[in-house]
Structure 1
Amino acid sequence: MRLLSALENFFWQRSKNDYHPGFIVSVLLNKPIPDDVLAEAIRLTGEDFPVLFQQIEETNSDSLPVIVPIRKTLVTEDVIRHVDDDECNHLFQNYKMKATDDQCSWVVFVKENRLSLMADHTLFDGMSSYNVLNSIIKYANKGVRSTNGLIYNANAPLLPPQHPYDELETNMMGNIKAKIAPFWIQYVSPLVSKVLPTQNFNFPEFDLQKHLYDEAGKLKQDNCYYSWNIPPKDLKTVLQSCRDHNVTLSVWICARVTEQLSKASDSTAGNLINIQIPMNMRPYLMRVLHKNSNSIAVGNYVSVSACTVDISKDELEQWSLAQNIQEQLEKSKSDPAAAIEYIKLLKQVNVAKFLKSKYAATIPETAFELSNLGVLDPSSANDEYQLLNAQFHQPKFVSSILCCSSISTRLGGLTVNISYPPTLDKVLRPLFEDL
């Protein structure tokens, strides 16, 4: 067994205290996968990625929870659930992934020819779901089939004793920051945000507390979602334009969304559009710690890069805006070790209290977050199960006004799901329809 890392503990506390139900990556296939095929594909995927069959065990209040293997046998019904309604708000509101008591912290919802993998964020990030679904579809196309419905036989190996982030040495500056972090994060930063006027982009009519909670004080999942799709042929043109201007597709998406938000000036205040972009740290861990790609395919290996656009003075032409964001992103990404050091500062903080203060905020810290999973392409033209399209959904956020979750497929092109508060629908939907 091993202790949760600082990053995992943050997400665990968020999940355990019902602030976050998990996230969903769904795939639309040309035909349904029968349960016996799906079960065997999941079983084999679990053999490749043992994290799938781990759980969280809390020992006592003074120490971090630990990760241990699930101790009971799992069969088809434990991880595959057929549903009549797989709309994301419905799933987020009605299902909670429990990572304790010998239960999986993920499940595959099946509605006809669509599979929706919902996972708790503690042991999984978006790329984990990407890798799991990629594996499941590949195994299904190999013709595998279960004869007994067995998915897991209570035999998962123990994980390595440390999360890869904890294998990285903390430098002297990191140690100094660790002494300051608790005081700054828990006391100074909240006070500064209350005393000093903010220039952050916001909607004065938007009340974060009313958005988050119902009258009983329970977190409600009623986000509006706008699905922005770019077909394969058009996406090819966009990608070429991105290459011509030396920007990534993620940056181009950020630029387009920022450009549209800047048009809502009659309904907004503040001139600084802050953007958060979660970064996949696997390539860095493979390079520095020589990790095998399969060993870190599933797990929580993210950090966050931040960019800011000043819509009162920055050039808002699409490609100028994109290049501005690209430059900031490259600078932010230039020191991945520092990004991980920043995450490790959470070890010094009472995470439960920190989360409570975050969820008591009245204005989100950022305008939007973009999470881009890249191109999912597990099937070829001759395969039985063809991937037609994929979608990435996230629940309500406290840290941003809206969230953009994107994924691409060979046959479906790019799909960006933009989630935002219902009270802003009249303002935002026309802007998104003009993307």
Structure 2
Amino acid sequence: MSLTESASGWPLRLKFNLVLAVIFLASLGGAGIYYYGFLERNAIEDVRRDSEVLMATALAIRAYTTDEVKPHLDPLNTQTFLPQTVPAFAAVETLRRLSERFPGYEYREATLDPTNPRNRATRWETGVIDDLIARQKQAPHEDAELWGIHGQGVKRALYVARPIVINNPSCLSCHGDPAAAPESMVRLYGRSGGYGWKMAQTVGMQIVKVPMLYPLEKARQTFETFMLSLVAVFGLMFLGLNLALSALVVEPMARLNRRLEDLATKDFLTDLVNRRRFFERLESEMAAARVHGSSLSVVMFDLDFFKRINDTFGHDSGDLVLKHTAVRVRELLRSSDCAARFGGEEFMILLRETPIDAAMALAEAVRARIADAPFETVGTVSASFGVAGWNHEEDAHALINRADRALYDAKEGGRNQVCRAAEAPVRRVLVTAESPA
């Protein structure tokens, strides 16, 4: 990539990539927030469905125990109380075995005043029961249910709670008047709790817990995979857009800029730099020479009797002479030198790090190259030269004026020759008695 292409292409490419990066980061952030929330909601919904299945399983076990087990085992309760005949006990024990296979899945029936002490509600469970009772009072004709998230870290779980309401009169045979309770149950649990219940009373709750670790971890992994895929897609898109930008925008613009720069700084006929560009280059080289203390010289020349060539052979032949003259000059210059068409048939050469004697020799070589080889159609053409060395004090115009006066001397002296410019006048500093020596 050329310097011009780099200068013109990189700011555009940088701005384009910055805009693209900002759009991508904003889109990635928005997509990440939305998709993470979407996956988390789906994970919670999955857990909700699992909790509903677990709750339905507990209710099915309770119903089966009530309908199929209790009638057959009740006669035995007169002698030894069998907890297996209690629907709540059967559901809790059955699902406890399930939790051994699937840790974190729990079913519990917590009561405020239990017969079996293991069913006593904890402080947190008591709060949930109170919330269920409050909800029943607000909407007595609707099935009360609460759900939420409980626990931290790996123990974080979604719970679903439903109230235990005394709707079956048979429940009061054991939990109503303690005197009417089965003697075998009293012997097992005593008379301290679980009695005096009434119809339509909420005595506790059924609660299931389903762990959220695995669904949320799965959601996190899916989210990371999705985000990585987005980054990969953006990377490919970023590469493709940059390649397209280079092929369709940057390179054509660089070529156009080079063309515009050539039009602005070069002479269209000779392909040498123009007068404006030459002055810019001269000012720059003078500044560098002043810093490094190096030499600098300029050569001014023009073609002798050029108007006669145009009048005799036509302007096309004159243009051809100018182009071939520029070619012959470039063949003798270093890459660090600069040649310009100064106007009409007049040319300038800037020689950096070149003292006046070396500049005179180069001018003589150019003069010989022009004069010794005839030009097509017009034949032999000569040129006159003026050479000036810079004294590190005068400005660019003064230096060129000295070369121009030397060129005039070459013309007056018979043409087809090289003349050395007179030395620039040296500034004299007046030293007074008060001035330091």
TM-score (norm 1): 0.17
Pair member with larger Rg: 2
Say which structure, 1 or 2, has more relative contact order (CA 8 Å, 6+ apart): 1
Structure with more strand by fraction = 1
By percentage of residues, which structure has more helix?
2
TM-score norm. by structure 2 comes to: 0.17
